[in-house]
């Protein structure tokens, strides 16, 4: 099992929580992993923070030989749920760190550019896609 994050402080926290994991600081757009070497890739609550999510989707397809599981907020339901609990009011419920916003259908289409989508799950307020290398 390998965990990857671009933030050294985040990896330091992760090390204290799971010292037995192999943790790597790297850019999610350029994964330091051999092609077709990953049995299962998880990319959860990441893509909506990236200015170039297609680079990451391409990389996940390159390194994967098994399933790729992705999740992202399902808009506009994610923002509406936050508004209902009075969170992120200045940004109409959206997380101020998000730079991508997808409906479930739009996220599926985006993933399908790089991976073969096998299943789409809607778990309020997220969209979860199970895909494989194209």
> DSSP assignment of 64-102, as one string?
BSS-EEEEEEBTTHHHHHHHHTT-SGGGTTS-TT----B
Residue 18 dihedral angles phi and psi, to the nearest 5°: -145, 75
Q: C-alpha dihedral over 105, 123, 3, 18, to 10 degrees?
A: 170
Token pair 């778990």 is found at 123
What pTM did the predictor assign?
0.93
pLDDT at 1: 86
CA distance 86 to 12: 32
pLDDT at 56: 98
Residues of the chain below pLDDT 70: none
Q: C-alpha dihedral over 72, 43, 62, 20, to 10 degrees?
A: 180
pLDDT at 43: 97
pLDDT at 88: 97
pLDDT at 76: 97
**CA 16 to mean position of chain CA atoms:** 23
């Amino acid at each position: 099992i390998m965990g990857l994050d671009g933030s050294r402080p985040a990896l330091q926290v992760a090390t204290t929580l799971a010292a037995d994991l192999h943790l790597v600081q790297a850019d999610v757009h350029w994964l330091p992993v051999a092609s077709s070497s990953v049995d299962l890739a998880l990319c959860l609550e990441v893509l909506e923070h990236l200015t170039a999510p297609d680079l990451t989707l391409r990389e996940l397809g390159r390194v994967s030989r098994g399933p790729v599981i992705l999740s992202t907020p399902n808009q506009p339901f994610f923002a509406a749920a936050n508004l209902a609990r009075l969170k992120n009011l200045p940004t109409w419920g959206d997380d101020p760190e998000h730079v991508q916003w997808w409906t479930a259908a739009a996220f599926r289409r985006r993933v399908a550019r790089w991976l073969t989508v096998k299943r789409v799950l809607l778990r309020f307020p997220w969209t979860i896609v199970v895909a494989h290398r194209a």
